[in-house]
Amino acid sequence: MSTARPPVPVRIGMLTPSSNTCLEPVTYDLLHGTGAATAHFARVPVTRIALDSGSDAQFDPAPMLSAALQLADAQVDVIAWNGTSGSWLGVDRDRALCAAITAETGVPATTSTLALLDACAAYGVTRLGLALPYTRDVAERIVQTYAKEGLACTLAEPLGISENEAFARVPQPDVARQIEAAAADDAHAVAVVCTNVYGARPAAELEPALGVPVFDSVTATLWQALDLAGAHPALPGHGDLLRSGSLRARIQSALAELRTATAADRTTFRVDLPGHGLGVDLTAGESCGDGIRSIRRDASLDQRRLNTVEWLEQHRRPLVQPHFRDDPHPPQALIDVYGVHAQLLAPVERDGAMAGWISVHSMTERDWSERDSAAVADAVARIHAALDEAS
C-alpha cells in the first residue's frame, strides 16, 4: 500500500492593508473550486491614502517585513504585498520591498503594482486607462509613476476618496462605469488600481464588450502570485488575465530572448488558440527594438492566406528569407508600412496542424546564420512548453 502523500496545493501568502475588506473574499472567490492554491493573510496598518508624510509612513517596510516573516512560518510559496502603494510612492520602492522580503524569508515576492505592470508587459500595453477611487492628486501621481514605466495613461474621473475602508463601499455599477470611461481614447487595456475596490467581477464582465483586457488589482496580484509559485494559472471565468496571462507572459519572454539572440528588429508569434482568445490575425506576442513600429494590433490582413504562410503550411519547415526577391513574397504592407526587408519564419505545430508561427524581422537585408536558426528552434521549443502548460 502506497504511503505517498497527496500533492500540497500552492500556498500564497498575502500582506493585506488592515482596513481592507475586499481582497480576501475576492481572492477566495477567484480560487474557489480550482484547487490551484490556498491563500493566507497577514495585516499591516493602512487606513488612509494621501500624499503626505503621515500617509507615506504607513508603508514603511519594517512592519511589512515582520508580517512577511510570520507568513513564512506557514511555508508559503510566494509572498505578495496586496496593495498598490508603489503606484504613487514609486515602483522602485516596491522592487526594494520584494528584494528585502526574499532576503529575509527566502520566499519570492511581488506586489499589486508590479503585477499590474507585468500584466501590461504580457499584453503589450503602452496606453492604459485607469479606474481609480483616489483623490485627484493621488491619481495624477499614479499617472506620472506609470509614465516612467512606459505607460501613457488616461484617467476616468477619480472618485475622490481617501479613507481606505470606504473604497470597498463603492457600488460595483459605479466601478463598471469608471471602467467604461477609462476604456476610451484607444486604451490598450484598463486597470482598476486599488485592492479594496470590488472590481474583479465588473472587469471580467466588461472585457468582451470593451474588446480590451481589464486588469483588476486583486485579480492581477493573485495571477502573479500563482505564477511566481509555479502554478502557471489558466483559470477560466474571471477574465483574460487569469485565463491566458501566464501564457502570454511566457510567449513574450521567449520572443524578447529570440530578438536579442538574433539581433533582429522585431519578433512575433501568431497562433490560433480559441480557448485563450487568440487568433493568428493578431499577434499573441511581439518584441520590438527601439524605434521599431509595432505590428501587434494590426488585423488588416488575412494571415492564413499570405504567400509566406501558405508556404509554411505546405512545407512545415522554417522559411529563411535574406531578401524578398524570390518567391514566396510577403505582403507588400510588411515592406511599405513596417519596413521589413528580411525575415525568418518558423511553423509551430500542434497535434499535426500548423497552429501558428514565429516571425523574425529585419529592417535591412541580411543573411540569417545557423545560430539564428538555432535560436528560432529554441524559441519554438519554449512556446511549445508554454502551450503545454496552458492546455
- Residue 330: its pLDDT value, please? 97
Q: What is the mean pLDDT of residues 53-65?
A: 92
- Residue 2: its pLDDT value, please? 38
pLDDT band at residue 54 under the 50/70/90 scheme: confident
- Residue 7: its pLDDT value, please? 60
- Residue 185: its pLDDT value, please? 82
Three-state SS annotation for 269-318? EEECEHHHCECCCCCCEEEECCCCCCCCCCCCCCHHHCHHHHHHHHHCCC
- Residue 222: its pLDDT value, please? 98
What is the 8-class DSSP label of residue 328? S
- Residue 232: its pLDDT value, please? 82
Q: What is the mean pLDDT of residues 353-372?
A: 98
3-state secondary structure of 65: helix
Q: What is the mean pLDDT of residues 373-378?
A: 98
- Residue 50: its pLDDT value, please? 95
Q: Say if CB 268 and CB 285 are below 8 A apart.
A: yes
pLDDT band at residue 370 under the 50/70/90 scheme: very high
In whole angstroms, give the CA distance from residue 368 to residue 34: 45
Of the chain, the percentage scoring pLDDT greater than 70 comes to 98
pLDDT band at residue 3 under the 50/70/90 scheme: very low
pLDDT at 93 > cutoff 50: yes
Q: Name the average pLDDT for the chain.
A: 96
Tell whether pTM > 0.85. yes
> Listing from the earlier edge strand, what are the strands of the sheet with 189-192?
152-155, 127-131, 189-192, 214-216
pLDDT in tens, 98-152: 999 999 999 999 999 999 999 999 999 999 999 999 999 999 999 999 999 999 9
Q: What is the mean pLDDT of residues 71-76?
A: 98
- Residue 4: its pLDDT value, please? 43
> Listing from the earlier edge strand, what are the strands of the sheet with 37-44?
37-44, 10-17, 78-81, 109-111
State how far the alpha carbon of 177 is from the alpha carbons of 78, 157, 192, 291, 334, in Å: 34, 10, 12, 36, 39
Q: What is the mean pLDDT of residues 61-77?
A: 97
Q: What is the mean pLDDT of residues 365-381?
A: 98
pLDDT at 327 > cutoff 80: yes
What is the 8-class DSSP label of residue 324? S
Of the chain, the percentage scoring pLDDT greater than 90 comes to 94
